[in-house]
Amino acid sequence: VLTQQTSGVGASSDEEGSSDSKLGFMRRLKSFRKSTIRRAQGREKNISSTGSSSQNNCSLRDKLPAKYIQTTDVKKATLNPVWMEKFRFNIESGKTETFHLDIWDHDDEFSVFEAARKLNQVQGFKGLNRYFKQIAQSARTNSNESSNIDDFLGSVNLKISEIPSTGIDRWFSLEGRSENSKVHGQIHIRANLATREDRGISEEDNWTDIKQHVELLQIIIDHELNKFKGETTKWAGELSRDAETILHQHAIQGDITDIQRKMCRWIAYSKKHLERTLTHKLLLTITEQLEQAWQPTSLSRDESDMLREAFTLFINHCFKQLAKLRDLFPAANRIAAERLEQLLTIVAKLHNMEVFRYCCPFQNSLQHELSLILKAGTMEWFDRMVIHITKPRLRSDEEILRNTSELVYVLLADAHSAVKYYNPIFESTVKLAFYHISFKKIDVKLMDIIIKALEEELGEQIYQSPLKLFENTEPDSADIAAFAFSAEQTSLSLFELYLSLNELAKYKIYVNESHRSNLKINQYYLYFGVALKKWLSIARNKLLHRIEYILDKDKSETSLIAPISTATNNKFTSSSLDISNCFTQMAQFWRRLAWPDIPGSIVYLIKMIEDTTNATRLYAILMEEKLNAKKFYDTNDLTIYIQELSLTVNNIERIRESFKALPIELSYDKLLVAAEKFHPIAGVDEYRKKIETTVAICSQDITDRIYRILSKVITNMEMELKQYLFHIIEAPDASTIQDTVQPLFTFLDNQLVPYTEYLIRLNLTRLLELIWAVLIDQLLCEVEDVTSPKSISSYARLSKALDGLVEYFNNEEHYLPKDILKTDKYKLVKKLLKYQSTDTQSLIKMYYQEKAQEQDRANSSNQIDL
């Protein structure tokens, strides 16, 4: 209640009638004032109205006992007093009675309260008159009437009949005693009507009515749900108009307050939710209404106990649902996700409400309770999955590994659901990391199952380090034999289990950093060292077997290619493509493996490179042997071997390129850089040197083998090349350089045409290099041959012919780079030809010029040194 200044309030409830005595009493009641003139006038009117009947005096005394008049506390030193006091008046006729409220400004606290204490001494009409007189005399008086009016701050008259069944809760403007009164301000009044049956109990005690109200609400909710066409979770909670009327009348009859009604509503709906699932959105709305209405002293002890019981039942029900979260709230189900979010929201709302903490003071924190629930629920779900997946089946090693992999796949799906769906919901509603709690609980149990399965398959070797494993000199065949029957399938099951664990371990980033390092799954790879060794051995043996098999298949393909060679232009056979794919698959295997132990993985990487090195050499050897088996090196006519020779060197070159690129595909350099954090740099450099040297030596061996095969072509051309060079040297002086060189170019064109068609660019370049080397060697022999001196013009023609050969080999068709053409031997031949084609005087001049240049260079070098 708000008014002005330090104030006191007097309130009463009167009955209005037609009798004069009642009107006189009403006037005297309204004379709750300090004006002596008005009191005198009121007293005269009272005498005239009450003198006619003494019986009416007795009637008034009976109808207006002291309990109809109440006073509030005085609020001192404030212009905006707030009383927040509650009074109850028993009213016999709501149609005729009026509620009257006076507000006074009073400084003499003692006299007002003394008069208020004598309230219970009022006896009938005269006693009431004396009571008002004492109140009036206690106020400040002045000879000025306006001063007396100022002490009276205003009044409010409210007819009981104007109060609706829902009550009044609003501001009322203050009224004066007359039109001339200077009254202003407002007061906030809340008034409600109630009617109760007299059961001989305290008027304040409506406990039975409250329980009946809850039961009535539950009956009505059942009725509404039975009428509702659809799922109960879609019911909005609205009651029919008739139902609301019944509840409203019952609340009035039971004198049930607003907070009690909201309490009953929450209890009824929450209990009904346990029987017939309602939407959590509805329950949340009812919860918020309860929170808004509740005050610390608004409920009795019995009511608080009743509310606590309802809270406990509802919270326990929610916890049971959360324990079965994966079954009741499937992650990918949008509706289920919404329901889960609403459930957590209302649980969080309850725990944050003052009324909940007041009724349930010993409740643990929500995060603590939810952590326990989620841990228990996760373990129950995990044990159920283990029993379901590992139920008695065939007890083969492969079956055990497959079952274990299936269990990890289930956990992977659960981790994905937790991170994508559950985690955001829990973090946004209750500030809890769902996956952190759930995965920490199953980590140890899962790894125990994994280790047990690996021990049954691989024995005690799973505990050995990589270096220890490779110290074993057991032959490769033993690695394969160790798997006995169905070794490959078992190896695949092991690899599948490893990959699934590798994926699951990635989800550790969603575990709190402080707990992440303690997870047992961090060390899962340590138990797969022996398995990795066997995988590499199997991969190597399969690769070697594949090379032998695919080369046999190449034989039939080559025989089919030969008759239609002019129409196809195939530069490779399927064997090189197949083996290159094998290398690619091994690189993919290594990337998929993603071995977490960086220092330990270097040993496995080197082993893989060594195995592919041996495979590359084996392929080149077998390809050359296959060509040699057809008497390639024994024939002088290579016409029938051109395509097969080209296919052989092309295939070998493709495998060499695939092998050379393998370390890069294996990301060996990144691995070694990362290893520097764990190993001394010198040790890492040794690993790098070993890898690069192994690859370089193998690559050079393969290149030398290709040159050796192509050199057979040059051997058959060497005699013709010498003859064409001889014709160039011995050509008549009158012949042009073009005429002398053209026959050689024509011969080379005819010889190179089929090789240009079948050889890949790199191998054609190698063939041109060999031809160029033979030509330079023969030219050098001719120039250095002093037994058959030639004319200066012959050497000049030969020098021009050499320039023409450079242009021929460097043109767009052949394009042998000049840095390859201009070798040291070429420079020597060019220099000798220049000397031989120059006269004596010019040679002497050139000699001195060169000496002078050498001296200048020497002097310049000495100055720099000084």
Lowest mean pLDDT among 248-262, 419-433, 578-592, 640-654: 248-262
pLDDT band at 865 (very low <50, low <70, confident <90, very high): low
Integer Cα distance of 403 and 396 in angstroms: 11
Lowest mean pLDDT among 64-78, 226-240, 802-816, 831-845: 64-78
pLDDT at position 198 is: 54
Is residue 768 over pLDDT 80?
yes
Integer Cα distance of 530 and 460 in angstroms: 10
pLDDT at position 530 is: 86
Strand partners of residue 155: 102, 175
The distance from CA 398 to its chain's CA centroid, rounded to whole angstroms, is 34
Q: Tens digits of per-residue pLDDT, 294-332?
A: 888 788 888 889 999 999 999 999 999 999 999 999 988
Integer Cα distance of 567 and 802 in angstroms: 37
Secondary-structure breakdown of the chain: helix, strand, coil percentages, each rounded to the nearest 5: 70, 5, 25
Integer Cα distance of 269 and 261 in angstroms: 12
pLDDT band at 107 (very low <50, low <70, confident <90, very high): low
Ordered by start, the domain boundaries in the chain are 7-191, 207-363, 395-420+431-531, 579-708, 716-853
Integer Cα distance of 510 and 419 in angstroms: 8
> Region 369-375: what's the mean pLDDT?
94
Q: Tens digits of per-residue pLDDT, 228-279?
A: 988 888 899 889 898 988 888 888 878 788 888 999 999 999 999 999 889 8
pLDDT at position 861 is: 65
Is residue 145 over pLDDT 50?
no
Radius of gyration of the chain (CA): 55
pLDDT band at 681 (very low <50, low <70, confident <90, very high): confident
pLDDT at position 99 is: 85
Cβ distance 38 to 177 under 8 Å?
A: yes
More confident residue, 766 or 818: 766
DSSP string, 390-455: TSS----HHHHHHHHHHHHHHHHHHHHHIIIIIHHHHHHHH---HHHHHHHHHHHHHHHHHHHHHH
Cβ distance 142 to 46 under 8 Å?
A: no
Structure tokens at 830: 């060019």
Integer Cα distance of 121 and 243 in angstroms: 47
Is residue 758 over pLDDT 80?
yes
The distance from CA 475 to its chain's CA centroid, rounded to whole angstroms, is 47
Is residue 283 over pLDDT 50?
yes
More confident residue, 478 or 273: 273
> Region 393-419: what's the mean pLDDT?
84
Q: Measuring CA to CA, which residue among 109, 111, 102 is closest to residue 154?
A: 102
Is residue 27 over pLDDT 50?
no
* Main-chain phi, psi angles of 170, to 5 degrees: -160, 180
Q: Measuring CA to CA, which residue among 388, 431, 435 is closest to residue 416?
A: 435
Cβ distance 129 to 159 under 8 Å?
A: no
DSSP 95: T
> Region 626-642: what's the mean pLDDT?
78
Cβ distance 278 to 241 under 8 Å?
A: no
Which fold, 7-191?
Immunoglobulin-like (2.60.40)
More confident residue, 38 or 744: 744
Is residue 130 over pLDDT 50?
yes
pLDDT at position 66 is: 62
pLDDT band at 401 (very low <50, low <70, confident <90, very high): confident
pLDDT at position 25 is: 39
Q: Tens digits of per-residue pLDDT, 190-216?
A: 887 766 555 555 545 678 888 999 999
How large a percentage of the chain has pLDDT more than 90? 32
pLDDT band at 473 (very low <50, low <70, confident <90, very high): low
pLDDT at position 640 is: 79
- Residue recorded with tokens 């509650």: 86
pLDDT at position 484 is: 41
> CB burial class (10 A; 0-12, 13-18, 19+) of residue 170?
exposed
> Region 803-832: what's the mean pLDDT?
87
Integer Cα distance of 152 and 4 in angstroms: 11
Q: Measuring CA to CA, which residue among 504, 360, 345 is closest to residue 432?
A: 345
Q: What is the overall mean pLDDT for the chain?
A: 80
Is residue 176 over pLDDT 90?
no
Structure tokens at 800: 């021009």
How large a percentage of the chain has pLDDT more than 70? 79
Q: Element (H or E) spanning 232, and its range?
A: none
Integer Cα distance of 259 and 265 in angstroms: 10
pLDDT at position 464 is: 79
Structure tokens at 309: 């019981």
Structure tokens at 548: 């032998």
Query: β-pairing, 152-159 with 7-15?
Result: unpaired
The distance from CA 623 to its chain's CA centroid, rounded to whole angstroms, is 53
Structure tokens at 616: 């590359």
Q: Element (H or E) spanning 370, and its range?
A: helix 366-389
Structure tokens at 455: 């021990």
pLDDT at position 862 is: 62
Q: Tens digits of per-residue pLDDT, 820-829?
A: 888 899 999 8
Is residue 691 over pLDDT 90?
yes
> CB burial class (10 A; 0-12, 13-18, 19+) of residue 206?
buried
- Residue recorded with tokens 């009651």: 239
Q: Tens digits of per-residue pLDDT, 498-548?
A: 999 999 999 999 998 888 889 999 999 989 988 888 888 888 988 999 998
> Region 372-393: what's the mean pLDDT?
88
Integer Cα distance of 576 and 582 in angstroms: 10
Q: Tens digits of per-residue pLDDT, 718-735?
A: 888 888 888 887 777 777
The correct CATH number of 716-853 out of 3.30.1460, 1.20.58, 3.90.1310, 1.10.3470 is 1.20.58
Integer Cα distance of 64 and 124 in angstroms: 8
DSSP string, 659-716: HHHHHHHTTHHHHHHHHTTTS-HHHHHHHHHHHHHHHHHHHHHHHHHHHHHHHHHHHH
Cβ distance 59 to 24 under 8 Å?
A: no
User: Of the spans 167-171, 248-252, 433-437, 463-467, which averages the highest pLDDT?
Assistant: 433-437
Integer Cα distance of 119 and 517 in angstroms: 78
> Region 584-608: what's the mean pLDDT?
91
pLDDT band at 855 (very low <50, low <70, confident <90, very high): confident
pLDDT at position 147 is: 46
